[in-house]
Amino acid sequence: MTAESSTGKALPEPTPITRPYWDALKAHELQLQHCEACGQYTFYPRLRCEHCGKDALKWTPVSGRGTLHSYIINHVAPPGWEQDVPYVVAVVKLEEGPRMLSNLRGVPPDPELLKLDMPLQVAFVPRGDMVLTVFEPLQLKGSQA
Protein backbone atom coordinates (compact mmCIF):
# COMPACT_ATOMS: atom_id res chain seq x y z
CA MET A 1 0.00 0.00 0.00
CA THR A 2 1.19 3.50 -0.76
CA ALA A 3 2.61 5.57 2.04
CA GLU A 4 0.29 8.08 3.62
CA SER A 5 0.83 11.40 1.92
CA SER A 6 0.97 14.50 4.03
CA THR A 7 -0.24 16.56 1.10
CA GLY A 8 -3.82 16.86 0.09
CA LYS A 9 -5.49 14.50 2.53
CA ALA A 10 -7.79 16.01 5.11
CA LEU A 11 -6.33 16.50 8.57
CA PRO A 12 -8.37 16.53 11.77
CA GLU A 13 -8.35 19.69 13.85
CA PRO A 14 -8.49 18.83 17.56
CA THR A 15 -10.61 20.81 19.99
CA PRO A 16 -9.77 21.06 23.71
CA ILE A 17 -12.01 18.09 24.52
CA THR A 18 -10.68 15.84 21.74
CA ARG A 19 -6.99 16.77 22.02
CA PRO A 20 -6.09 13.98 24.51
CA TYR A 21 -7.29 11.41 21.95
CA TRP A 22 -5.01 12.82 19.26
CA ASP A 23 -2.10 13.26 21.68
CA ALA A 24 -2.40 9.59 22.68
CA LEU A 25 -2.28 8.50 19.03
CA LYS A 26 0.96 10.47 18.66
CA ALA A 27 2.33 8.23 21.43
CA HIS A 28 0.98 5.21 19.49
CA GLU A 29 -1.66 4.50 22.05
CA LEU A 30 -5.43 4.28 21.55
CA GLN A 31 -7.30 5.92 24.41
CA LEU A 32 -11.02 6.32 24.95
CA GLN A 33 -13.04 8.14 27.57
CA HIS A 34 -14.30 5.74 30.24
CA CYS A 35 -17.11 6.76 32.59
CA GLU A 36 -16.27 6.11 36.23
CA ALA A 37 -19.95 6.52 37.13
CA CYS A 38 -21.60 4.03 34.76
CA GLY A 39 -18.61 2.03 33.53
CA GLN A 40 -19.24 2.58 29.80
CA TYR A 41 -16.90 3.91 27.14
CA THR A 42 -17.67 6.95 25.00
CA PHE A 43 -16.49 7.79 21.50
CA TYR A 44 -16.27 10.46 19.98
CA PRO A 45 -14.87 12.47 22.89
CA ARG A 46 -17.38 14.47 24.91
CA LEU A 47 -17.58 16.85 27.84
CA ARG A 48 -19.75 14.42 29.79
CA CYS A 49 -20.88 10.80 29.50
CA GLU A 50 -23.43 10.21 26.75
CA HIS A 51 -24.87 7.27 28.67
CA CYS A 52 -25.47 8.77 32.12
CA GLY A 53 -24.73 12.49 31.74
CA LYS A 54 -22.24 12.44 34.62
CA ASP A 55 -19.05 14.48 34.69
CA ALA A 56 -16.96 11.36 35.27
CA LEU A 57 -15.08 10.65 32.04
CA LYS A 58 -11.46 9.56 32.33
CA TRP A 59 -9.07 8.96 29.44
CA THR A 60 -8.12 5.29 29.48
CA PRO A 61 -5.85 3.18 27.23
CA VAL A 62 -7.82 0.44 25.46
CA SER A 63 -6.86 -2.83 23.81
CA GLY A 64 -6.85 -1.61 20.21
CA ARG A 65 -8.64 -4.83 19.29
CA GLY A 66 -11.87 -4.78 17.33
CA THR A 67 -13.83 -6.41 14.54
CA LEU A 68 -14.77 -5.39 11.01
CA HIS A 69 -18.33 -4.16 11.48
CA SER A 70 -18.96 -2.77 7.99
CA TYR A 71 -17.00 -1.26 5.11
CA ILE A 72 -17.02 0.11 1.60
CA ILE A 73 -14.31 -0.09 -1.05
CA ASN A 74 -14.01 3.44 -2.33
CA HIS A 75 -13.42 3.90 -6.05
CA VAL A 76 -13.88 7.68 -6.31
CA ALA A 77 -11.00 9.43 -4.59
CA PRO A 78 -11.37 12.45 -2.34
CA PRO A 79 -8.63 15.10 -2.71
CA GLY A 80 -5.25 13.56 -1.86
CA TRP A 81 -6.41 9.95 -2.26
CA GLU A 82 -5.93 9.65 -6.03
CA GLN A 83 -3.04 7.18 -5.65
CA ASP A 84 -4.92 5.02 -3.14
CA VAL A 85 -8.10 3.98 -4.97
CA PRO A 86 -9.56 1.48 -4.55
CA TYR A 87 -9.18 1.52 -0.76
CA VAL A 88 -11.20 0.32 2.20
CA VAL A 89 -13.09 2.58 4.56
CA ALA A 90 -13.84 0.38 7.55
CA VAL A 91 -16.21 0.69 10.47
CA VAL A 92 -14.43 -1.00 13.37
CA LYS A 93 -16.31 -2.20 16.44
CA LEU A 94 -13.89 -1.93 19.32
CA GLU A 95 -13.73 -4.61 22.01
CA GLU A 96 -14.73 -1.93 24.55
CA GLY A 97 -17.97 -1.16 22.71
CA PRO A 98 -17.73 2.00 20.61
CA ARG A 99 -17.36 1.97 16.85
CA MET A 100 -14.92 4.11 14.86
CA LEU A 101 -14.11 4.80 11.24
CA SER A 102 -10.66 3.93 9.95
CA ASN A 103 -8.80 2.38 7.05
CA LEU A 104 -7.43 -1.14 6.66
CA ARG A 105 -3.80 -2.11 6.07
CA GLY A 106 -2.23 -5.47 5.34
CA VAL A 107 -5.19 -6.83 3.38
CA PRO A 108 -6.07 -6.16 -0.28
CA PRO A 109 -9.32 -4.31 -1.05
CA ASP A 110 -10.98 -7.56 -2.10
CA PRO A 111 -14.48 -8.49 -0.85
CA GLU A 112 -13.39 -12.16 -0.73
CA LEU A 113 -10.84 -11.28 1.94
CA LEU A 114 -12.90 -8.74 3.84
CA LYS A 115 -15.07 -10.90 6.07
CA LEU A 116 -17.40 -9.02 8.38
CA ASP A 117 -16.61 -9.55 12.07
CA MET A 118 -13.00 -10.56 11.31
CA PRO A 119 -10.67 -9.54 14.17
CA LEU A 120 -8.57 -6.43 13.72
CA GLN A 121 -5.80 -4.69 15.61
CA VAL A 122 -5.05 -0.99 15.63
CA ALA A 123 -1.83 0.45 14.18
CA PHE A 124 -0.74 4.03 13.70
CA VAL A 125 0.09 6.12 10.64
CA PRO A 126 1.49 9.66 10.54
CA ARG A 127 -0.16 12.38 8.51
CA GLY A 128 1.34 15.85 8.68
CA ASP A 129 2.05 16.46 12.35
CA MET A 130 -0.84 14.20 13.37
CA VAL A 131 -1.11 10.44 13.82
CA LEU A 132 -4.20 8.55 12.62
CA THR A 133 -5.41 5.01 13.26
CA VAL A 134 -5.30 2.20 10.74
CA PHE A 135 -6.43 -1.38 11.41
CA GLU A 136 -4.82 -4.65 10.36
CA PRO A 137 -6.15 -8.21 10.39
CA LEU A 138 -5.20 -9.64 13.77
CA GLN A 139 -3.69 -12.95 12.53
CA LEU A 140 -1.47 -11.17 10.02
CA LYS A 141 -0.19 -8.88 12.71
CA GLY A 142 0.62 -11.91 14.87
CA SER A 143 2.45 -13.77 12.09
CA GLN A 144 4.62 -10.73 11.41
CA ALA A 145 5.54 -10.29 15.05
Partner 1 sequence: MNHQPIAIVGAAETELGALPHLSELDLRADAAYRALADAGLEVKDIDGIATAVEPPNDMAHMLGITPSWYDGTSVGGCSFLVHVAHAAAAIRQGKCKNVLVIHGESGRSRVGFRPARQRPPHSMSGQFEVPYGVHTAANMFTLPVMRFMKDTGTTHEHLAHVPVAQSHWSLDNPRASRRRLLSVDDVMASPFIAYPFHKLECCVVTDGGGALVITSADRARDLRRSKNPVYVLGSGEASDSACISMMDDMSSSKAFRLSSRAAFKEAGIKHSDVDHLMIYDAFAHLPLFGLEDLGFVGRGEAGDFIAEGNTRPGGRLPMNTNGGGLLYTHTGMYGMFAIQEAVRQLRGEAFRQVENVRTSVVQGVGGMFTAAATLVLGNQQP
Q: Which spans of this chain sit near Zn ion (rule: CB under 5 A)? A: 35, 37-38, 49, 51-52
Q: Which of 73, 135, 142 is nearest to 104 (CA)?
A: 135
111 touches which of partner 1, Zn ion, none (CB within 5 to 8 A by kind)? partner 1
**Counting contacts by CB under 8 A, is residue 51 touching partner 1?**
no
d(CA 80, CA 9): 4
**Counting contacts by CB under 8 A, is residue 116 touching partner 1?**
yes
79 touches which of Zn ion, partner 1, none (CB within 5 to 8 A by kind)? partner 1
d(CA 117, CA 26): 27
d(CA 135, CA 115): 14
Residue placing its CB nearer to Zn ion in the complex, 41 or 135: 41
d(CA 108, CA 88): 9
Q: How many CB atoms lie within 10 A of CB 88?
A: 22
| Contact characters 30-49, partner 1, x per CB under 8 A | -------------xx-----
Site for partner 1 in 60-99 (CB under 8 A): 69-79, 81, 84, 86-87, 89, 91, 98-99
